Every structure is written in C-alpha cells, then in structure tokens.
Structure 1
Amino acid sequence: MSATGTRTGHVVVIGAGIAGLAAAHRLLEGGTRVTVLEAAGRVGGKLLPGEIAGVRVDLGAESMLARRPEAVTLARAVGLADRLQPPATATASLWTRGALRPMPKGHVMGVPGTAAALSGVLSDEGLARVERDAALPRTEVGEDVAVGEYVAARLGREVVDRLVEPLLGGVYAGDAYRISLRSAVPQLFRAARTHRSLTEAVRDIQAKAAAAPQTGPVFTGVEGGVGALPLAVADAVRARGGEILTGTPATGLRREAGGGWRITAGDRVLPADAVIVAVPAPAAAGLLRAESPEAAAELAAVEYASMALVTLAYRRAGLDLPAGSGFLVPPVDGHTIKASTFASQKWGWIAEQDPEVVVLRTSVGRHGETAVLQRDDAGLVEVSRHDLREATGLDAEPLETRVTRWTDGLPQYPVGHHARVARIRDHVAKLPGLAVCGAQYDGVGIPACIASAHAAVDQLAGDLTGVRELTAHPVQSLHGGAGE
C-alpha cells in the first residue's frame, strides 16, 4: 500500500528525533492514529535551535542536503518553504601544513580525479603517488572495504590523511581507516567495482554529474535554524490529531498473544497495532531484547562517537576573518578542533539578525577520542580559541560562548555495516507490526533519516491494512486506572 492509502489502527512511534517525527507525519497522512513517545523533554534529537548574544543559531546540525528530496519536501509540507535558504557562501578551506588552503575541487568525499588541484595540500611525493594510480593493477573492493584502506592503497596515505579524513570526520566524527566505503560513500563504492583505477572512477562520477546537471543548491538551511524543522513537524503532527508525549521514555516493548503490541512507558501502558522504534541503537537494543534478542545483539554492537560544538559570538568591529564558510582540519596536523564554521558568513539569516555580531563555531571530538571531551566547557572554549587564533589570527575576546555536547551522538559505519543493517531488518521483519528507523541504518544526514522513516512506515502498510479501528485505546496505568 502506498503511504497515502487508507489505513486503520494505532501506531506508537518511539523517539521524536527527526526520523520518529517524519514517521509520525507520514502515518497521519495515511489516516493512521499515532502516539509518539520521547524520553527527553523536547523533540528534535540532534536538531537543536538555540541563541547566543541575542542571535538565533543552530546548536546541532545546521544544514541538510538539498539534492536529496526528502528533507526539503518535508520542510515544505510543514510550512517552511519560504524559510529555506542556501548558504551565502560554500567556499571552504583546509587548515593544513600551517595555512588555510582552498578546498580542492573535483573530488568525491576528498578522493580526487586528478592530482592537478592538490598542490599545496599534498607534498610533491604525495602528488606523484596520486598520479601512479592509473598504472596500478586493479584493486578489488569485494563486499566492502574501509575507505581509508582502499584509497591509501590506490592514491597514498596523504590523500586519506589530508583530504578524506577531515571530510568524513565532519560527517561521522569517525576514523577513515575504519569507515565503510560501501555504506559511507556508496557512489564511489559502485564506481570502484567497475573501473580499473580509482581516479578514473572519480572522473566518471563527475562526468555523469555534469551530463545531468541539477538545479538549485547542494545544501540548504532554514531561516532561524534547521532546529526549526522538527518543531514544525511536531506542530503538524499535533494539528493532524497525533499525540506527542515528551519526558516519557519507553521502557518495555512486548508482543501481545493475539497480535498487536504493548508498550510500557513509566507507569503507563499503551496498546498499539504497530510500533516504529526510532531511537539510537543502544536504546533500540534494550527495547527489542525481549522480543528479538538477535536484533538487539546486532544493535548493541553499533558503536557511537561523541563530540562537542563550541559556539562563539564576537563583536564585528575590528574583526577580520578569512573569506568563506569556514575550514576543515586534518587530524594528522595535530590540532584539537576538527572544523570551524564561520556561521555569520555561511548563513545570511544569522548575519541579518545583528550586523554587529559575528558567530563562529568549532567542533571537537572524533571516534576514540575521549581525553579532549573530558575537559569542562571552559577548557573546550580555550582550546577552540587557541586553534582559531593559530588558523585565522582571531584573538578577540568573545561576547558569549556556548558548549553543546553530543555524547554518543553519531553512529559509526565500519566495514560490514550494510550486512549488520540487513541482519537487523531481517530479524525485525519476523515480527509483524514492528519497524525500525534512524541514523544508525542508512545514513546520518537529515534526508537519509527521513527516508529511513518513510521506509519504516511503508513496511508497516501491509500489517495495518484491515486492522480493526481502535478508537478508544486508552493509555492505561500499571496501577489499573486510566492514564492521562
């Protein structure tokens, strides 16, 4: 059944991040009654609006891929069409070899098609190593391979350490030598399977993109912050009659003998015809352990990286930042921060709020790095200011600083991730009326999370067809009385 077909019944969505909210929104479009449970006191997960020095900003994810339709389509559906804004500048730099250098063009996640644009980023030896790729025998990628391992074998470690690592680190906060090529850069994985050399594969990807140009920006933001998206989706869910219960963690999930599900949330019990589990892997493992210990074991093995965002506001007077949207930092250079965004230069809506205030932010923390994140907030601000001073000369005293910690915030996609996800879904599919979605499956970006939610809803379509209309479904107390 399509997402807009007629459904009956009641679905409980566990988790009110963007995936859970997108699932609820799609269910309601199809006529299904929905209750969303969220452990935190707010909706949105890693999408968090905030404020610094009187200026609205994002304290979590700040942009979304516009070349995929899911996020932009959802934003328009919930009334944000006139607030979608592309970056004012997309020109980024690399802080490497002691200077800010223009990000090379013509690459796929840092993997170049030629050595021509890499002067200054790579050494002469590194450039020569890239040029040898065409003469090397073909390297089989098999079912999967680590991005760093494969690229280093073809082009040398310098390409990985100074280009691929900072770009992948910005997405996954992970280690390029562990991250799956198949899961993290699927376009390049497919091309590598059919081309003799890696640079040839990259050039073929670029040629196909040039032959079918797409209009519009690659990325987009939202005036007021991407954190406005989950709030708008939540409003739309409520407007359609959906219920969202924040501060209500699901603590138990059991299949009823006669069909349907029983969800425990504190002293409440919610009966449901189907359930979508849209929480991070550790929480999902806990919920599924009773009914699908196999899926739970796979989910419990998913690793996460922690990170922190340091947001700083400065007076514009006397400030002289480099042009562009910011810079990435290869870890091989030994600096603490892994990136900095010149938010007021990247987003016009930030600059327009107060022309006398300039907002920057840095990110700190990669998979396996724990010592730096053990510093207190003042310590993270200090190391961020130190690295900003070294990279840009910025030595002014900030007006205000904010530190936002995302502990275990980013799921890791190691080699074999696709197979783990397939096993999880195979186990879950054995239980009618159950589906899963979220960043730990098919991509950590906002559009990928929304696509994951839509797939979960569509999976449930057959389970909900013909289900009896349950108009009462009271939220019951474990003590026997009617709940709120």
Structure 2
Amino acid sequence: MSSEAHTRAPHVAVVGGGISGLAAALRLLEGGARVTVLEGSGRVGGKLLAGEIAGVPVDLGAESMLARRPEGVALARAVGLGDRLQPPATATAGIWTRDGLRPLPKGQVMGVPGDLDALAASGVLSPDGLAAAAREAELPPTEPGEDVAVGAYVAERFGPEVVDRLVEPLLGGVYAGNAYRTSMRAAVPTLFEAARGRRSLTEGVRALIAAAPPNPGPVFAGIEGGIGQLPLAAAAAVRAAGGEIRTGSPVAGLHRTADGWRLDLGDAHLAADGVVLTTPAPATARLLAGTADSAAADLAEVEYASMALVTLAFRRPDVAGLPAGSGFLVPPGDGRRIKASTFASNKWGWIAAAAPDVFVLRTSLGRHGDEDDLHRDDADLVKLSLADLHEAVGLDATPIAGRVTRWDRGLPQYPVGHLDRVARVRERVAALPRLRVCGAAYDGVGIPACVGGARRAAEELLATLPRGARDAGGQ
C-alpha cells in the first residue's frame, strides 16, 4: 500500500443535507475526515425553511427547538448564531375545544394531568371527563410493559377525554400523529418511566414536575430571522471547515467496494471510505436494498404524516381583537380543519420588531390518517384556515398576503415497537463496514434529537475509519 494511502484523510459521504446531515458533517470534519454532503434537492435544511411574507422574515417549516435539551442550542452557538437565540415572547397557549378557546392547563406533561384543580379551572374537560380523571389516583397500578400506545394507556387511566382534548393536540403538534398508535416509550419516555412501578400516573406526573430545576429557563428557543437560519449557518460552517456540499445531487445507489463505498450519482460515481445516511426512512431503505435487506425492510415500514402550513399576514389594526398568547391547539375529534394556529407576531419578538404594522399568524392542517384536505389547492387551504379562525377567535380580517407550504410525508410516525425497530436497523447497519444511519426517523423528530443522533453516528463512524487515515486527518 502506498504512503499516500496511509496518510490521506478519510473521505466520508453524508447523504442528506437536512439538519442531521449538516450536524454529522461538522462532527466528521472536527474528527479530521474529508466530507462531501450530497443533497438531492436544490437547498439544504430539510424541514427547516426560512422565508418571508409581506416583507417579514418567517419560518415556513419548524419554528423552534427544545431549549432544555442542549444539542440544538449548542449547534446554533457553534455556527455563530448564539447572539440570535431568543425564547418565545409568550408561552401562553390555548385549546380550542367545547365551543371555546380555553387555557392550556398548568401542571401537566404532554397533556397528562398532575394538577386536577388546574385541569378543572381550564374548562377543557366536561364534568364527566373531570370525574374520570379524578378517579385515576384510586385505580390499581397498570404496568405499561415493554411499550404501550400513549392514548390507550392514558385513556385507561384517566378516561378518553384527557386523551382526546389534551394528549392528542399536544402530541399531534410534535408528530402530526395519532395518540392511540404512538409509542409512549419512544415519544414520551419520561412519561413512560413515570408510569412504571407507580400506582398512580397522577403522582408520576407530579413527581416529574417537582423534579424539574427551580429555574430551568425557557422550554423552547427560536432564532432571530427564523429557525431556518440554522441549517444555512451550519452549511456555511461546513464549507468553512473544508467540507463540500453538493445540492441537486440525489444518490441513486450505494454499493460496497473492496476498500469502502461507491455512491451512484446519476451518470457519475463517488468513492468514499465511509457513509452516513441521514435521508428519510423510505429513501434510506432504497439505498440499503441489496446491501442490508433486513434493515431496508424495517425502514420501508416507517410511516410518515403529511401536513401543510398556511402563513397569513394582516394589517395589525385589522386584528386588534385577537387574544393575547402564542396561539392555540385543536383536538382532532372536534371536527375542525386546522390542528393548530400560532400567533407568530405575539410569539416571536423578532417578527413583531421587523414589522410592527403587520401581524403574522399561521395554521397547520393534516395529520396521519387525516390528510384529505391536503389534496385541495392553496387557495382552499387559506379559506379553510380563515373559516376556522373566524369561528375560534372571531377573526374577520382579510389577509394582505398568504403562503402555503406543504410538507409531504414530512413527519415520521413512532408507533408501538418503534424503538425495537430502530435497534434492529442500527444493529444490522453497524455490521457493515463504516456505515451509519441517523435522522428524524430514529430517536426523535425535534432538532436537538436529530443533532444528537447525527453527532453520535459521526463519532461511531470516525472510530471505525483506518487509524492511519484518522491520525493524518486530525493533524
């Protein structure tokens, strides 16, 4: 073997230019690898997309990240956005249910109540629903076993109203899924642990709340100019560190070679010592077919929800009657079209400062298994949103601008058994030389979970690269 083969830095191909791919690329570059990021679309960022409406900068995808988990905030600081991190200006949200806009009750974890007085004061549940919730503390223990659907377990303990009017809208805001199918162990692990070995889940929720630090800081963080600035800054950091990013470069095939991998790029090929696949599960399944068939089969079964975001801009005087707060959630069983509305100009100080005479809000439509409205054209989605907003908060104003952003198959679903599936996939992929997978389909759909999973995948891959190459790459 030539001395050049011993001293060259290892080359790693990262497939996918979303936040997972960019975070993996940065960690690989830190470890001394040469990195090529291959993104099939014309831009980086995945579900994070900065845009504008009526001249106001807004997010057209995800708008915030969990701040109490460190990975996302740490990445923002690492790529030069630390001074632009902002908490929401208000975190007061409501629930549109029982023919009224009602406050989201305090003292709950993902809708599961620990404070029955606060639950009663909110008016979210009917008297019968409150009575069922109050009986939970007297029920004999119910072990969740190895895994259980959030909705099924909570309905058994608290009655269906707690699930339908609280758990569903809160959980749906994260996964756009169905609480009666979603794994508690995967989606709400703290609640799953609280349910184990306890007689009362009410007590478990109270214990979780009591265990929180006295001054934990904001739950969520945004970025001035939009959370969509994060992948743009991360991409700039990748390039500044010597990495290459190719957009418009879909990977059509992945093949093992004698000393690494070959990636098919249409009429061209790319050789790599290692590969990190950060693409959505269906695309990763296609790339693994023929190389890791059992992992591909598991990934091919991952289901996704589609949704649409309707962003509307109004003259501020025209919406003076809107309630204060960050917006409201909508239970799926109430027969409404929208599943949530965010009053963006209330929620984010930077939006209000950028356009004090304009008010921006957005709605979301579509859930897993409830996507018929997404077949309508953009104008219809705007009309449906305005109709629900009129009924919910009395909004009669005509928007000065509107944008519809569609996220087809945008959110992976985490059904019961999801973590076992993920473990099988990782075990089978790890058996192959210098190949790892990460992304929203594995450990969580939020930005911190994606960043954390990407960095772990990159670190595992770095540990498998030829030592001579790694030593040279780190010099």
TM range (shorter): over 0.9
Q: Distance in 1 between matches of 2:252 and 2:74?
A: 33
Structure 1 residue 305 and structure 2 residue 308: aligned? Answer: no
Listed one character per residue, the Cα deviations across residues 333-367 of structure 1 (whole Å, up to 9, x for unaligned) are: 11110000000000010011111100000000000
Alpha-carbon distance in structure 2 between the residues aligned to 1:352 and 1:267: 49
Task: Determine if contact 1:8/1:466 at 8 Å carries over to the other structure.
Answer: no
Q: In structure 2, what is the Cα distance between the partners aligned to 1:215 and 1:467?
A: 45
Aligned to 1:352: 353
Q: What is aligned with 1:184? A: 187
What corresponds to 1:11 in structure 2? 12
The Cα shift of 1:12 comes to 0.2
- CA displacement at 1:194 relative to structure 2: 2.1
TM-superposition CA deviations, 1:233-288 (whole Å, max 9, x none) = 000000111000000001110111x2311111111211111000000000000001
Letter in 2 for 1:271: A
Cα-to-partner distance string for 1:299-337 (whole Å, 9 max, x where unaligned): 000000000000000001232210000000011211110
| Structure 2 SS opposite 1:318 | helix
Q: Which amino acid aligns with 2:290?
A: A
Q: Does 1:53 align with 2:54?
A: yes
> What corresponds to 1:286 in structure 2?
286
Query: Percent identity, aligned pairs only?
Result: 68
RMSD: 1.4
Task: Give yes or no for the alignment of 1:272 onto 2:272.
Answer: yes
User: Equivalent residue for 1:127?
Assistant: 130
Distance in 2 between residues matched to 1:35 and 1:298, nearest whole Å: 27
Q: Which residue of 2 aligns with 1:432?
A: 433
Whether the 8 Å CA contact 1:110–1:163 is kept in 2: the answer is yes
Provide the residue aligned with 2:262 in structure 1.
262
Give the number of equivalent residue pairs: 463
Using a 3 Å threshold, how does the CA distance of structure 1 residues 300 and 20 change in structure 2: closer, same or farther?
same
Structure 2 residue ranges without an equivalent (≥5): 1-6
CA distance in 2, matches of 1:205, 1:370: 35
Deviations 1:24-74 (A, max 9, x none): 011111111000000000000000000100101000000001101101111
Q: Secondary structure at the match of 1:51?
A: strand
Structure 2 CA distance for aligned equivalents of residues 354 and 208 of structure 1: 40
Assess if the C-alpha contact under 8 Å between 2:462 and 2:470 holds in 1: no
1:195 aligns with 2:182: no
Q: Distance in 1 between matches of 2:265 and 2:471?
A: 20
* Contact 2:31-2:462 at 8 Å conserved across structures: no
2:3 aligned partner: none
Q: Distance in 2 between matches of 1:11 and 1:56?
A: 35
How far residue 201 of structure 1 moved from its aligned partner, in angstroms, is 0.9
TM-score, scaled relative to structure 2: 0.96
Please tell me whether the aligned partners of residues 344 and 360 of structure 2 are also in contact (alpha carbons under 8 angstroms).
yes
Taking the aligned partners of 2:356 and 2:8, their CA distance within structure 1 comes to 51
What whole-Å deviation, never above 9, does each CA across 1:59-98 have from its counterpart, x for those lacking one? 0000001101101111001000111011000000001111
1:169 aligns with 172
Query: 1:14–1:20: 8 Å Cα contact kept in structure 2?
Result: yes
1:131-142 to structure 2, matched below 5 A, reads 131-142=134-145
Note if contact 1:113-1:200 (Cα within 8 Å) is conserved in structure 2.
yes
Task: Measure the CA separation in 1 of the matches of 2:402 and 2:8.
Answer: 49
Shift in Å at residue 296 of structure 1?
0.4
Aligned match of 1:340: 341
- Find the counterpart in structure 2 of residue 241 from structure 1: 242
The Cα offsets for residues 406-443 of structure 1, whole Å up to 9 and x where unpaired, read as: 00000000000010000000110110100000000000
CA contact (8 A) 1:8 1:465 kept: no
**Which position in structure 1 is the counterpart of 2:316?**
316
Distance 1:392 1:7 in 2: 63
Deviation at 1:116, TM superposition (A): 1.3
Distance 1:468 1:344 in 2: 51
Q: 1:145 aligns to what?
A: 148
Do the aligned residues in 2 keep the contact of 1:148 with 1:178 (CA within 8 Å)?
yes
Gaps of 5+ in 1: 1-5, 472-484
- 8 Å CA contact 2:309, 2:363 repeated in 1: yes
* Contact 1:112–1:202 (CA under 8 A) maintained in structure 2: yes
Return the alpha-carbon distance in structure 2 between the equivalents of residues 377 and 470 of structure 1.
54
Aligned residue for 2:317, secondary structure, equals coil
1:159 and 2:156 equivalent? Answer: no
* Structure 1 ranges of 4+ moved more than 2 A: 212-216, 467-471
Note the alpha carbon deviations across 1:428-463, whole angstroms, 9 max, x for none: 011010000000000000000001101101111221
Structure 1 residues 103 and 285 mapped into 2: Cα distance closer, same or farther (>3 Å)? same
Residue 479 of structure 1 corresponds to none
Partner AA of 1:373 in structure 2: L
Deviations 1:198-238 (A, max 9, x none): 111111111111xx334421111000000000000000000
Q: Is the 8 A contact 1:9 1:467 kept in 2?
A: no
Question: How many Å apart are 1:468 and its aligned residue?
Answer: 3.8
> Which residue in 2 is equivalent to 1:481?
none
Residues 364-379 of structure 1 mapped to structure 2, 5 A cutoff: 364-379=365-380
Contact kept? 1:7, 1:465, Cα under 8 Å = no
Distance 1:89 1:419, change over 3 A: same
Cα distance change, pair 7–149 in 1 and its aligned pair in 2 (3 A)? farther
* Deviation of 1:191 (Å): 1.2
Alignment of 1:323-472 (within 5 A): 323-468=324-469
* In structure 1, C-alpha distance between the alignment counterparts of 2:8 and 2:142, rounded to whole Å: 50
Contact 2:224–2:350 (Cα < 8 Å) also in 1: yes
- Matched residue of 1:388: which SS? helix
Deviates more, 1:399-408 or 1:188-197: 188-197
What letter matches 1:346 in structure 2? K
Aligned-partner residue type, residue 279 of structure 1: T
Cα deviation, residue 147, structure 1 = 0.2
2:146 alignment partner AA: E
Contact map agreement 2:31 2:470 (CA 8 A) in 1: no
